[in-house]
Chains A and B, each alone.
Chain A
Amino acid sequence: MRYSLFPGCIAKNLYPSIEKATSIVFKELGIELVEDPYTCCPAPGVIRSYDFDSWLVIAARNIATAEAKGTPLLTICNGCYGTLGAADRFLKAHPEYIERVNRFLATVDMRYLGATRVVHFVDLIKESLPQLKDAVRVELDLKVAIHYGCHYLKPSAHGGENPERPEILERIVECLGCESVDFPEKLSCCGAGGGVWSGNEDLSLAILHRKLNFIKEAGAECIIDICPFCHLQLDQGQKRLKTRFEIPVLHLNQLIGLSFGVKDKILGLHTHMVSTRNIAKKAKKARKDLFEENEEKEI
């Protein structure tokens, strides 16, 4: 199956390591990703807060781009999923708006039809769990703190996991031979959304600080996220706090890449703000064990 990858501004322009890991993981899973000319999703927190209709038109433009190619739209960011998924649902539920949106899109020779779907990459991995299991070559044995973020789970109107008791990331992480540690307020916000990251830095960092305290106490070796915006907040935000948490942050696709036996440098772990050295070391050791085992088998 072919999917049109919607990388989003942050994975493209701030954390290309996430884009790289995504391309490696989906190639290994036998899923073809194509690139199409997209704009900002646009961000649900800022643009939608100013003018809902403007937000809808820009989102519809992006959905129409995938539609024209006949491919579903694959997001690797909760924010992009929040926007594109919600805009698509809204338009499908309110056909009278489609005509209105299309009047704007006509000025740039585009048209929204409602003929494609918006998919979060975690849901695609969920469908591909058997292939994922087969592709795992390295047992990482890491204690990870899972951060779901908000817009993959909520609003629950889009279906999928139970927002109060989701399970999919725990299942994926177990598949990779890692342990998911429990901690209070595991499902709470990272503090970046809703325009708070840019509009109210003190508040944004206070929410982050609270969450990181819980994660530190739980003894996690790293944090796993499924959203580049949460990733930005968890990684760069740690550097802005006075407390030195130094908890490495990985996008799920990077953890999967490591489990596939891909080297940390290829996955761009060294480009993160918080050092990922300990994770890289552990992954290297796991790869070495695998290598020796294979050699032994050959002998």
Chain B
Amino acid sequence: MALDLPTIIRNFDLRKCMQCGKCSASCPAGFESNLRTRMIIYMAKSGMDVLDLNELWSCTTCYTCQERCPKGVKVTDAIIFLRNLAARRGNFPRIHLTAIKAIYDTSNGFPLTPEISKIRSLLGLQKEPADVAHNEEALSKFRRLMESIEIINITREAQK
């Protein structure tokens, strides 16, 4: 269940923001892109629509802004939940669907390739790790779990 905007404003203390700009000044992505954390928080707390801003997806979730906020605004957590709302609107980088599909198919975001399997053997490790990906029963159970959660609906909707 995604939180609605008023709940995000309340839960993450966005109203406490006094626009000092420490978040933007601390932002490693902001140095290199047009991500302005202060603006996103201002817009969100004022009830303006930020969900179509691509900059929302430029945040590396490093939490520096949140750590340094003098008013204790939970900036990074708020951005993550704003993304949850943006995703429901279908606004997100489509390339991420590949990662979600990989997790559904193999249980891993980065699946094992034959090349790495060879390197594992050369290093004296098991050719295939003892994980869910290489255990048929566990993998089908995991897929069942994935089928029951919301993320599948969001990604299916996006692929329509």
Residues on A close to B: CB < 8 A? 7, 9-10, 12-14, 16-17, 19-20, 35-40, 42-55, 57-58, 61, 104-105, 107-109, 150-151, 154-156, 163-164, 185, 188-189, 191-196, 198-200, 203-204, 206-207, 210, 266, 268, 271
- Cβ–Cβ contact B60 & A194, under 8 A: yes
Please name the residue on chain B nearest to A203 by beta carbon. Answer: B33
Q: A46-B100, A150-B62, A155-B67 are in contact. List 14 more A-B contacts (CB 8 A).
A: A13-B110, A14-B110, A20-B123, A35-B130, A37-B130, A40-B109, A46-B99, A50-B84, A53-B149, A55-B151, A61-B142, A107-B145, A155-B76, A156-B67
Instruction: Give the distance in Å from the alpha carbon of A265 to the alpha carbon of B79 in the complex.
Output: 43
Residue pairs across A and B with CB atoms within 8 Å: the count is 206
Map CB proximity to A onto B114-138 as digits: 1 under 8 Å, 0 otherwise: 0010011001110001111101001
Residues on B close to A: CB < 8 A? 1-3, 28-29, 31-33, 57-64, 66-67, 76, 80-81, 83-84, 87, 92-93, 95-96, 98-100, 103, 107-113, 116, 119-120, 123-125, 129-133, 135, 138, 141-142, 144-146, 148-151, 154-155
CB distance from A213 to the nearest CB of B (A): 12
Contact sample, A vs B, 24 pairs, CB 8 Å cutoff:
A14-B110, A16-B120, A35-B129, A35-B131, A38-B132, A49-B80, A51-B154, A55-B151, A58-B103, A107-B144, A108-B144, A150-B61, A150-B64, A154-B64, A154-B66, A191-B28, A194-B60, A194-B62, A199-B57, A200-B33, A200-B93, A203-B29, A207-B60, A271-B119
CB distance from B71 to the nearest CB of A (A): 16
Hey, which chain B residues are within 8 Å of A156, CB to CB? 67
Instruction: Give the distance in Å from the alpha carbon of A17 to the alpha carbon of B146 in the complex.
Output: 30
Please name the residue on chain A nearest to B33 by beta carbon. Answer: A203
- Cβ–Cβ contact A53 & B1, under 8 A: yes
CB distance from A157 to the nearest CB of B (A): 10
- Cβ–Cβ contact B96 & A195, under 8 A: yes
Q: Which of B66, B81, B113, B151 contacts A13 (CB 8 A)?
A: B113
Instruction: Give the distance in Å from the alpha carbon of A45 to the alpha carbon of B130 in the complex.
Output: 25
Instruction: Give the distance in Å from the alpha carbon of A189 to the alpha carbon of B145 in the complex.
Output: 33
- Cβ–Cβ contact B66 & A210, under 8 A: no
Hey, which chain B residues are within 8 Å of A108, CB to CB? 141-142, 144-145
Q: Which of B1, B57, B151 contacts A47 (CB 8 A)?
A: B151
Instruction: Give the distance in Å from the alpha carbon of A155 to the alpha carbon of B67 in the complex.
Output: 7
Instruction: Give the distance in Å from the alpha carbon of A154 to the alpha carbon of B148 in the complex.
Output: 31
Hey, which chain A residues are within 8 Å of B95, CB to CB? 198-199
CB distance from A273 to the nearest CB of B (A): 13
Instruction: Give the distance in Å from the alpha carbon of A51 to the alpha carbon of B150 in the complex.
Output: 7
Hey, which chain A residues are within 8 Å of B111, CB to CB? 9, 13
Q: Which of B87, B113, B135 contacts A49 (CB 8 A)?
A: B87
- Cβ–Cβ contact B81 & A52, under 8 A: yes
- Cβ–Cβ contact A16 & B60, under 8 A: no
Instruction: Give the distance in Å from the alpha carbon of A271 to the alpha carbon of B123 in the complex.
Output: 10
Instruction: Give the distance in Å from the alpha carbon of A16 to the alpha carbon of B99 in the complex.
Output: 20
Hey, which chain A residues are within 8 Å of B120, CB to CB? 16
- Cβ–Cβ contact B66 & A51, under 8 A: no
Hey, which chain B residues are within 8 Å of A191, CB to CB? 28-29, 60
Hey, which chain A residues are within 8 Å of B123, CB to CB? 16-17, 20, 266, 268, 271
Instruction: Give the distance in Å from the alpha carbon of A164 to the alpha carbon of B26 in the complex.
Output: 12
